Structure 1
Amino acid sequence: MISRRDVVTDSAIAVVAEQGVRGLTHRAVDALAELPVGSTSNVYRTRDALITGIMERIGELNSQQLERLPELVRAPGADPIEVAIDFCMNWLTTDRNRFYTMMMLSLDPALPPEAVIAKEKNLRAIKEFIMRFAGIDAEYAQRVNSSVAGMMVGELVAGTADRAHVESYLTEFFQWLRGGRESA
Protein backbone atom coordinates (compact mmCIF):
# COMPACT_ATOMS: atom_id res chain seq x y z
CA MET A 1 0.00 0.00 0.00
CA ILE A 2 1.31 3.43 -0.92
CA SER A 3 1.78 5.84 1.98
CA ARG A 4 0.14 9.25 2.24
CA ARG A 5 3.61 10.81 1.96
CA ASP A 6 4.22 8.99 -1.34
CA VAL A 7 0.79 9.99 -2.68
CA VAL A 8 1.53 13.62 -1.87
CA THR A 9 5.07 13.50 -3.24
CA ASP A 10 4.08 11.67 -6.43
CA SER A 11 1.32 14.23 -6.97
CA ALA A 12 3.81 17.05 -6.37
CA ILE A 13 6.07 15.54 -9.05
CA ALA A 14 3.11 15.60 -11.46
CA VAL A 15 2.28 19.21 -10.53
CA VAL A 16 5.81 20.34 -11.41
CA ALA A 17 5.70 18.38 -14.67
CA GLU A 18 2.32 19.86 -15.63
CA GLN A 19 2.54 23.39 -14.21
CA GLY A 20 6.25 24.06 -13.75
CA VAL A 21 8.09 24.85 -10.56
CA ARG A 22 6.14 28.08 -10.14
CA GLY A 23 2.88 26.11 -10.10
CA LEU A 24 4.00 23.98 -7.17
CA THR A 25 1.78 24.87 -4.22
CA HIS A 26 0.36 22.81 -1.41
CA ARG A 27 -3.13 23.55 -2.72
CA ALA A 28 -2.24 22.41 -6.26
CA VAL A 29 -0.87 19.13 -4.89
CA ASP A 30 -4.00 18.61 -2.75
CA ALA A 31 -6.18 19.20 -5.81
CA LEU A 32 -4.25 16.86 -8.09
CA ALA A 33 -4.10 14.12 -5.44
CA GLU A 34 -7.81 14.66 -4.72
CA LEU A 35 -7.01 15.13 -1.05
CA PRO A 36 -8.71 17.50 1.38
CA VAL A 37 -7.24 21.00 1.46
CA GLY A 38 -4.36 21.08 3.94
CA SER A 39 -3.33 17.46 3.45
CA THR A 40 -0.06 18.34 1.73
CA SER A 41 0.87 20.87 4.40
CA ASN A 42 0.28 18.20 7.04
CA VAL A 43 2.97 16.09 5.36
CA TYR A 44 5.29 18.90 4.22
CA ARG A 45 4.91 22.08 6.25
CA THR A 46 6.76 24.36 3.84
CA ARG A 47 7.28 24.59 0.11
CA ASP A 48 11.01 23.98 0.66
CA ALA A 49 10.18 20.78 2.58
CA LEU A 50 7.90 19.72 -0.29
CA ILE A 51 10.63 20.34 -2.88
CA THR A 52 13.09 18.38 -0.74
CA GLY A 53 10.54 15.57 -0.46
CA ILE A 54 10.21 15.53 -4.25
CA MET A 55 13.97 15.23 -4.75
CA GLU A 56 14.17 12.45 -2.14
CA ARG A 57 11.28 10.55 -3.74
CA ILE A 58 12.83 10.89 -7.20
CA GLY A 59 16.08 9.45 -5.84
CA GLU A 60 14.21 6.56 -4.22
CA LEU A 61 12.28 5.72 -7.42
CA ASN A 62 15.37 6.08 -9.61
CA SER A 63 17.34 3.72 -7.35
CA GLN A 64 14.57 1.13 -7.50
CA GLN A 65 14.64 1.19 -11.30
CA LEU A 66 18.42 1.18 -11.58
CA GLU A 67 18.76 -1.80 -9.26
CA ARG A 68 16.52 -3.87 -11.57
CA LEU A 69 18.71 -3.20 -14.63
CA PRO A 70 21.42 -5.84 -14.00
CA GLU A 71 18.77 -8.54 -13.70
CA LEU A 72 17.19 -7.41 -16.98
CA VAL A 73 20.55 -7.42 -18.77
CA ARG A 74 21.41 -10.91 -17.46
CA ALA A 75 18.05 -12.40 -18.49
CA PRO A 76 18.32 -15.15 -21.12
CA GLY A 77 18.39 -13.63 -24.61
CA ALA A 78 18.60 -10.06 -23.30
CA ASP A 79 20.28 -7.46 -25.49
CA PRO A 80 21.99 -4.80 -23.30
CA ILE A 81 21.35 -2.07 -25.86
CA GLU A 82 17.66 -2.99 -26.04
CA VAL A 83 17.47 -2.91 -22.22
CA ALA A 84 19.08 0.57 -22.24
CA ILE A 85 16.67 1.76 -24.94
CA ASP A 86 13.69 0.47 -22.95
CA PHE A 87 15.05 2.16 -19.81
CA CYS A 88 15.45 5.52 -21.56
CA MET A 89 12.07 5.24 -23.27
CA ASN A 90 10.44 4.48 -19.93
CA TRP A 91 11.87 7.68 -18.46
CA LEU A 92 10.72 9.62 -21.53
CA THR A 93 7.18 8.21 -21.57
CA THR A 94 5.78 6.27 -18.59
CA ASP A 95 7.99 8.08 -16.06
CA ARG A 96 8.19 11.35 -18.01
CA ASN A 97 6.81 13.40 -15.10
CA ARG A 98 9.57 12.18 -12.81
CA PHE A 99 12.34 12.73 -15.36
CA TYR A 100 11.03 16.17 -16.30
CA THR A 101 10.64 17.22 -12.67
CA MET A 102 14.10 15.89 -11.82
CA MET A 103 15.60 17.99 -14.62
CA MET A 104 13.56 21.11 -13.79
CA LEU A 105 14.39 21.05 -10.10
CA SER A 106 18.02 20.13 -10.73
CA LEU A 107 18.38 23.27 -12.84
CA ASP A 108 16.61 25.53 -10.34
CA PRO A 109 19.17 27.96 -8.84
CA ALA A 110 16.87 28.59 -5.87
CA LEU A 111 16.73 24.96 -4.74
CA PRO A 112 16.59 24.77 -0.93
CA PRO A 113 19.80 23.48 0.70
CA GLU A 114 18.17 20.22 1.81
CA ALA A 115 16.92 19.61 -1.74
CA VAL A 116 20.42 20.27 -3.10
CA ILE A 117 21.70 17.56 -0.76
CA ALA A 118 19.00 15.16 -2.03
CA LYS A 119 19.81 16.07 -5.65
CA GLU A 120 23.53 15.47 -5.11
CA LYS A 121 22.77 12.15 -3.41
CA ASN A 122 20.65 11.10 -6.39
CA LEU A 123 23.34 12.11 -8.92
CA ARG A 124 25.99 10.30 -6.87
CA ALA A 125 23.82 7.16 -6.74
CA ILE A 126 23.38 7.21 -10.53
CA LYS A 127 27.11 7.68 -11.09
CA GLU A 128 27.99 4.93 -8.60
CA PHE A 129 25.51 2.59 -10.27
CA ILE A 130 27.09 3.25 -13.68
CA MET A 131 30.54 2.65 -12.20
CA ARG A 132 29.50 -0.72 -10.71
CA PHE A 133 27.40 -1.80 -13.67
CA ALA A 134 29.89 -0.88 -16.39
CA GLY A 135 33.08 -1.42 -14.38
CA ILE A 136 34.37 2.09 -15.09
CA ASP A 137 35.87 4.89 -13.02
CA ALA A 138 33.98 7.90 -11.67
CA GLU A 139 35.11 10.31 -14.40
CA TYR A 140 34.10 7.96 -17.19
CA ALA A 141 30.78 7.22 -15.44
CA GLN A 142 30.11 10.97 -15.28
CA ARG A 143 30.70 11.25 -19.04
CA VAL A 144 28.38 8.33 -19.73
CA ASN A 145 25.64 9.79 -17.52
CA SER A 146 26.02 13.30 -18.96
CA SER A 147 25.90 12.04 -22.51
CA VAL A 148 22.82 9.84 -22.12
CA ALA A 149 21.03 12.40 -19.94
CA GLY A 150 21.80 15.07 -22.55
CA MET A 151 20.22 12.96 -25.29
CA MET A 152 17.18 12.36 -23.10
CA VAL A 153 16.80 16.06 -22.28
CA GLY A 154 16.99 16.75 -26.02
CA GLU A 155 14.12 14.31 -26.58
CA LEU A 156 12.20 15.84 -23.69
CA VAL A 157 12.65 19.38 -25.02
CA ALA A 158 11.71 18.32 -28.55
CA GLY A 159 8.66 16.54 -27.15
CA THR A 160 9.36 13.55 -29.33
CA ALA A 161 10.49 10.56 -27.23
CA ASP A 162 11.29 8.98 -30.58
CA ARG A 163 12.32 5.35 -30.03
CA ALA A 164 14.18 5.19 -33.35
CA HIS A 165 16.24 8.24 -32.37
CA VAL A 166 17.00 6.85 -28.90
CA GLU A 167 17.93 3.48 -30.44
CA SER A 168 20.21 5.09 -33.03
CA TYR A 169 21.88 7.28 -30.42
CA LEU A 170 22.46 4.46 -27.91
CA THR A 171 23.72 2.06 -30.58
CA GLU A 172 26.30 4.62 -31.73
CA PHE A 173 27.08 5.62 -28.15
CA PHE A 174 27.77 2.01 -27.08
CA GLN A 175 29.98 1.52 -30.14
CA TRP A 176 31.88 4.69 -29.24
CA LEU A 177 32.21 3.55 -25.62
CA ARG A 178 33.58 0.16 -26.63
CA GLY A 179 36.05 1.79 -29.02
CA GLY A 180 37.17 4.29 -26.40
CA ARG A 181 37.68 1.64 -23.75
CA GLU A 182 39.57 -0.66 -26.11
CA SER A 183 42.01 2.09 -27.14
CA ALA A 184 42.55 3.27 -23.54
Structure 2
Amino acid sequence: MISRKDVVTDSAIAVVAEQGVRGLTHRAVDALAELPVGSTSNVYRTRDALITGIMERIGYLNTQQLERIPELVRAQDADPIEIAIDFCMNWLTTDRNRFYTMMMLSLDPALPPEAVVAKEKNLRAIQDFIMRFAGIDADYARRVNSSVAGMMISELINGTAERAHIEAYLKEFFVWLRSSRENA
Protein backbone atom coordinates (compact mmCIF):
# COMPACT_ATOMS: atom_id res chain seq x y z
CA MET A 1 0.00 0.00 0.00
CA ILE A 2 1.26 3.46 -0.87
CA SER A 3 1.84 5.79 2.08
CA ARG A 4 0.21 9.20 2.44
CA LYS A 5 3.65 10.75 2.10
CA ASP A 6 4.14 9.00 -1.25
CA VAL A 7 0.65 10.05 -2.41
CA VAL A 8 1.45 13.65 -1.53
CA THR A 9 4.90 13.54 -3.14
CA ASP A 10 3.68 11.80 -6.30
CA SER A 11 0.90 14.39 -6.58
CA ALA A 12 3.44 17.18 -6.09
CA ILE A 13 5.50 15.73 -8.95
CA ALA A 14 2.37 15.85 -11.13
CA VAL A 15 1.61 19.43 -10.07
CA VAL A 16 5.07 20.59 -11.18
CA ALA A 17 4.72 18.70 -14.47
CA GLU A 18 1.28 20.19 -15.14
CA GLN A 19 1.60 23.69 -13.67
CA GLY A 20 5.32 24.38 -13.48
CA VAL A 21 7.39 25.12 -10.41
CA ARG A 22 5.40 28.30 -9.75
CA GLY A 23 2.21 26.27 -9.53
CA LEU A 24 3.58 24.10 -6.74
CA THR A 25 1.60 24.94 -3.61
CA HIS A 26 0.35 22.84 -0.75
CA ARG A 27 -3.22 23.56 -1.82
CA ALA A 28 -2.55 22.52 -5.43
CA VAL A 29 -1.10 19.22 -4.22
CA ASP A 30 -4.05 18.65 -1.87
CA ALA A 31 -6.47 19.32 -4.74
CA LEU A 32 -4.72 17.04 -7.21
CA ALA A 33 -4.39 14.25 -4.64
CA GLU A 34 -8.04 14.78 -3.63
CA LEU A 35 -6.96 15.15 -0.02
CA PRO A 36 -8.45 17.46 2.60
CA VAL A 37 -6.96 20.95 2.66
CA GLY A 38 -3.92 20.95 4.92
CA SER A 39 -2.91 17.34 4.24
CA THR A 40 0.21 18.28 2.30
CA SER A 41 1.32 20.76 4.95
CA ASN A 42 0.94 18.01 7.56
CA VAL A 43 3.49 15.94 5.61
CA TYR A 44 5.74 18.78 4.40
CA ARG A 45 5.52 21.89 6.57
CA THR A 46 7.18 24.23 4.06
CA ARG A 47 7.40 24.55 0.31
CA ASP A 48 11.16 23.92 0.53
CA ALA A 49 10.49 20.68 2.42
CA LEU A 50 7.98 19.70 -0.27
CA ILE A 51 10.50 20.38 -3.05
CA THR A 52 13.13 18.38 -1.18
CA GLY A 53 10.61 15.56 -0.75
CA ILE A 54 9.96 15.62 -4.50
CA MET A 55 13.66 15.33 -5.32
CA GLU A 56 14.09 12.50 -2.80
CA ARG A 57 11.08 10.62 -4.18
CA ILE A 58 12.33 11.04 -7.74
CA GLY A 59 15.71 9.65 -6.69
CA TYR A 60 14.06 6.68 -5.01
CA LEU A 61 11.86 5.89 -8.01
CA ASN A 62 14.75 6.32 -10.43
CA THR A 63 16.91 3.95 -8.40
CA GLN A 64 14.14 1.36 -8.29
CA GLN A 65 13.82 1.51 -12.06
CA LEU A 66 17.56 1.44 -12.74
CA GLU A 67 18.04 -1.59 -10.48
CA ARG A 68 15.69 -3.63 -12.71
CA ILE A 69 17.73 -3.05 -15.88
CA PRO A 70 20.49 -5.66 -15.28
CA GLU A 71 17.83 -8.32 -14.77
CA LEU A 72 16.18 -7.32 -18.06
CA VAL A 73 19.51 -7.50 -19.87
CA ARG A 74 20.23 -10.98 -18.47
CA ALA A 75 16.91 -12.24 -19.79
CA GLN A 76 17.16 -14.63 -22.72
CA ASP A 77 17.53 -12.88 -26.08
CA ALA A 78 17.61 -9.44 -24.48
CA ASP A 79 18.79 -6.61 -26.72
CA PRO A 80 20.50 -3.88 -24.67
CA ILE A 81 19.54 -1.24 -27.24
CA GLU A 82 15.87 -2.24 -27.04
CA ILE A 83 16.04 -2.11 -23.25
CA ALA A 84 17.59 1.38 -23.43
CA ILE A 85 14.89 2.49 -25.90
CA ASP A 86 12.16 1.12 -23.64
CA PHE A 87 13.73 2.85 -20.63
CA CYS A 88 13.87 6.22 -22.40
CA MET A 89 10.36 5.83 -23.80
CA ASN A 90 9.09 5.01 -20.33
CA TRP A 91 10.60 8.21 -18.93
CA LEU A 92 9.12 10.21 -21.81
CA THR A 93 5.64 8.70 -21.63
CA THR A 94 4.53 6.67 -18.61
CA ASP A 95 6.93 8.43 -16.21
CA ARG A 96 6.96 11.73 -18.10
CA ASN A 97 5.82 13.72 -15.06
CA ARG A 98 8.75 12.43 -13.03
CA PHE A 99 11.32 13.11 -15.76
CA TYR A 100 9.89 16.54 -16.54
CA THR A 101 9.75 17.52 -12.86
CA MET A 102 13.28 16.22 -12.28
CA MET A 103 14.55 18.40 -15.13
CA MET A 104 12.51 21.47 -14.12
CA LEU A 105 13.61 21.36 -10.50
CA SER A 106 17.20 20.52 -11.42
CA LEU A 107 17.34 23.72 -13.47
CA ASP A 108 15.72 25.88 -10.78
CA PRO A 109 18.33 28.34 -9.45
CA ALA A 110 16.31 28.78 -6.24
CA LEU A 111 16.36 25.10 -5.30
CA PRO A 112 16.57 24.77 -1.50
CA PRO A 113 19.93 23.46 -0.22
CA GLU A 114 18.42 20.18 0.97
CA ALA A 115 16.86 19.65 -2.47
CA VAL A 116 20.23 20.36 -4.11
CA VAL A 117 21.70 17.57 -1.98
CA ALA A 118 18.90 15.21 -3.07
CA LYS A 119 19.39 16.24 -6.73
CA GLU A 120 23.14 15.62 -6.55
CA LYS A 121 22.54 12.25 -4.87
CA ASN A 122 20.17 11.28 -7.68
CA LEU A 123 22.63 12.37 -10.38
CA ARG A 124 25.42 10.41 -8.65
CA ALA A 125 23.20 7.33 -8.46
CA ILE A 126 22.47 7.53 -12.19
CA GLN A 127 26.14 8.08 -12.98
CA ASP A 128 27.21 5.24 -10.66
CA PHE A 129 24.70 2.93 -12.31
CA ILE A 130 26.05 3.81 -15.77
CA MET A 131 29.62 3.26 -14.56
CA ARG A 132 28.83 -0.20 -13.14
CA PHE A 133 26.54 -1.27 -15.95
CA ALA A 134 28.76 -0.12 -18.82
CA GLY A 135 32.09 -0.67 -17.09
CA ILE A 136 33.26 2.89 -17.70
CA ASP A 137 34.84 5.62 -15.60
CA ALA A 138 33.02 8.54 -13.97
CA ASP A 139 33.89 11.10 -16.65
CA TYR A 140 32.71 8.82 -19.43
CA ALA A 141 29.53 7.97 -17.50
CA ARG A 142 28.81 11.69 -17.09
CA ARG A 143 29.13 12.19 -20.85
CA VAL A 144 26.88 9.21 -21.57
CA ASN A 145 24.25 10.49 -19.14
CA SER A 146 24.47 14.04 -20.51
CA SER A 147 24.09 12.82 -24.08
CA VAL A 148 21.07 10.63 -23.45
CA ALA A 149 19.43 13.16 -21.10
CA GLY A 150 19.98 15.87 -23.72
CA MET A 151 18.21 13.78 -26.34
CA MET A 152 15.34 13.13 -23.96
CA ILE A 153 15.03 16.83 -23.10
CA SER A 154 14.92 17.61 -26.82
CA GLU A 155 12.07 15.14 -27.21
CA LEU A 156 10.22 16.81 -24.32
CA ILE A 157 10.77 20.28 -25.76
CA ASN A 158 9.64 19.18 -29.21
CA GLY A 159 6.67 17.35 -27.74
CA THR A 160 7.49 14.28 -29.79
CA ALA A 161 8.71 11.36 -27.65
CA GLU A 162 8.43 9.16 -30.71
CA ARG A 163 9.96 5.72 -30.50
CA ALA A 164 11.51 6.10 -33.97
CA HIS A 165 13.44 9.19 -32.82
CA ILE A 166 14.67 7.48 -29.66
CA GLU A 167 15.60 4.32 -31.55
CA ALA A 168 17.54 6.19 -34.25
CA TYR A 169 19.40 8.27 -31.67
CA LEU A 170 20.29 5.35 -29.40
CA LYS A 171 21.43 3.12 -32.25
CA GLU A 172 23.76 5.87 -33.48
CA PHE A 173 24.80 6.61 -29.91
CA PHE A 174 25.69 2.96 -29.20
CA VAL A 175 27.78 2.84 -32.42
CA TRP A 176 29.61 5.99 -31.30
CA LEU A 177 29.99 4.59 -27.78
CA ARG A 178 31.54 1.34 -29.02
CA SER A 179 33.81 3.19 -31.44
CA SER A 180 35.01 5.69 -28.86
CA ARG A 181 35.72 2.91 -26.36
CA GLU A 182 37.71 0.94 -28.96
CA ASN A 183 39.72 4.04 -29.91
CA ALA A 184 40.41 5.05 -26.32
- For Structure 1 versus Structure 2, the TM-score category normalised by the shorter chain is over 0.9
Quote the offset at 1:8 in angstroms.
0.1
Match of 2:87 in 1: 87
Match of 1:13 in 2: 13
Counterpart amino acid of residue 118 in structure 2? A
- Whether 2:73 is the aligned partner of 1:73: answer yes
Mapped partners of 2:142, 2:168: distance in 1: 21
What is the TM-score of this pair, normalised by structure 1?
1.00
Quote the offset at 1:50 in angstroms.
0.1
Which deviations, in whole Å up to 9, do the C-alpha atoms of 1:77-109 show, x marking residues without a partner? Answer: 110000000000000000000000000000000
Counterpart amino acid of residue 161 in structure 1? A
What is the TM-score of this pair, normalised by structure 2?
1.00
Show structure 1 runs of 5+ residues with no match: none
Show structure 2 runs of 5+ residues with no match: none
Mapped partners of 2:30, 2:121: distance in 1: 28
Counterpart amino acid of residue 122 in structure 2? N
Counterpart amino acid of residue 155 in structure 2? E
Mapped partners of 2:183, 2:24: distance in 1: 48
CA RMSD across the alignment? 0.3
Match of 2:141 in 1: 141
- Whether 2:55 is the aligned partner of 1:55: answer yes
Mapped partners of 1:174, 1:71: distance in 2: 20
Question: 4+ runs of 1 displaced by more than 4 Å?
Answer: none
Mapped partners of 2:144, 2:74: distance in 1: 21
Match of 2:121 in 1: 121
Mapped partners of 1:59, 1:158: distance in 2: 25
Counterpart amino acid of residue 18 in structure 1? E
Mapped partners of 2:151, 2:167: distance in 1: 11
Match of 1:132 in 2: 132
Mapped partners of 1:166, 1:107: distance in 2: 23
Quote the offset at 1:61 in angstroms.
0.1
Mapped partners of 1:62, 1:101: distance in 2: 12
Match of 1:97 in 2: 97
Match of 2:33 in 1: 33
SS at 1:53 equivalent: helix
Match of 2:175 in 1: 175
Quote the offset at 1:30 in angstroms.
0.1
SS at 2:72 equivalent: helix
Mapped partners of 2:170, 2:82: distance in 1: 9
Percent identity of the aligned residues? 87
Mapped partners of 2:175, 2:36: distance in 1: 52
SS at 1:77 equivalent: coil
Mapped partners of 1:83, 1:125: distance in 2: 19
